[in-house]
Copies of this chain bind each other. A is one copy, B any other.
Amino acid sequence: MAVHLKDIAAYTGVSIKTVSNVVNGNYDHVGPETRALVLDAIKKLNYQPNNAARHLRKAQVNVLAYAFPDLSNPYFADIGHAIATEAAGRNYTVLLDYTFSERDKELNILAGMSPHLIDGLILDSHALDVEDMSQIQTSGPIVLLGERLFGAPLDHVLIDNTAAAYTATRHLIEQGKRKIAAIGVQKARSEAPSLRLQGFMQALTEAHLPIDQSLFMDGGLWHRPDGAAAMQALLARPREEWPDAIFCFNDLMALGAISVLGAAGCRIPEDIAVIGIDDIEDGRYANPPLSTIEPDKHEIARIAVHLLLERITGRRTQEPESIYVPFHLHARASTMGCKTN
């Protein structure tokens, strides 16, 4: 059970405002006895606001870390760049740490976070669960990104994945496509595949299109070769079973699919349209340019850095929140053809 400011207030009989002042190191209006009483209660109740202990120590090194799963996906490079830029504007350096989506690596990062090393962590976890998080004694605040760890007691910045997938699928339907395959559908520790599948099916249902599970394709690690392999499997079917559009759950798989369609001489989008999610630069320069859903990366970075610094400096002591940022549809030639060229 997490201990909150109000528990310390109830335990000590002082106001929440006073407890908050002590936690944040504002002793101007707090007498020494009250201060000792609150600090004692913090210890006895094992109160662990990531920021409190650190703020009392005031040992900031002005270094943040961004831990992400996959160095070969430019989406994370984009986010890292946005975070580093945002943090630089506030005089913080950002160290990047990547985890191969491995649970042990993520645990190590959490366990190894020391106040000498970094002040706080922005974590895009792909392997931990809420129980892991509650068992780890971290010494600095954490802000979560991405589609895992819903319900962890941490601030969390993300997009509405179901709505994003719905928007992508609806765009294909609006282009007259009726037989749409989805690539990237699989059980994974991350929630992203199932949320995106929900949005996909929601758009099909709303348009009274059948849901054909033979068009649900696994996407492995969501890399280019995974998208290419799924596309090859679809093209290996009899021509009359081919889909007329592909919704890939990220841009990398869409680029893999486009390379297979190009090599097979299929016309994009006339024969088969393709859309992804992420808006990585690779897609903008693909042949044809790739339609996609862009999570607002600057907003993600801006809010994540802001929340983290608020926790580090002790200005934010409220309960953690999940904050959803906008996404945008970019309709390019891979779904619109020459209409956009």
Residues of A near any B CB (own CB < 8 A): 65, 71-72, 74, 77-78, 80-81, 84, 93, 95-98, 108, 112, 116-117, 223-224, 228, 255-256, 258-259, 262-263, 281-282, 284-289, 341
- Chain B residues, CB < 8 A from A282: 255, 282
- Chain B residues, CB < 8 A from A285: 224, 228, 255-256, 258-259
Residue of B nearest to A263 (CB): B341
Does B93 contact A96, Cβ atoms closer than 8 Å? no
Complex copy number for this chain: 2
Min CB gap A57→B, angstroms: 15
What CA separation (Å) do A224 and B116 show in the bound complex?
39
Does B74 contact A80, Cβ atoms closer than 8 Å? no
- Chain B residues, CB < 8 A from A84: 71, 98
Report if A259-B281 is in contact (Cβ < 8 Å); known contacts: A71-B77, A117-B116.
no
Residue of B nearest to A261 (CB): B287
What CA separation (Å) do A258 and B223 show in the bound complex?
22
What CA separation (Å) do A223 and B262 show in the bound complex?
24
Does B81 contact A77, Cβ atoms closer than 8 Å? no
A224 touches which one: B96, B224, B281, B288 (CB < 8 A)?
Answer: B281
Interface centre among A262, A287, A288 (most CB of B within 10 A): A287
Min CB gap A227→B, angstroms: 9
- Chain B residues, CB < 8 A from A95: 65, 95-97
A71 touches which one: B81, B93, B117, B263 (CB < 8 A)?
Answer: B81
- Chain B residues, CB < 8 A from A286: 259, 286-287
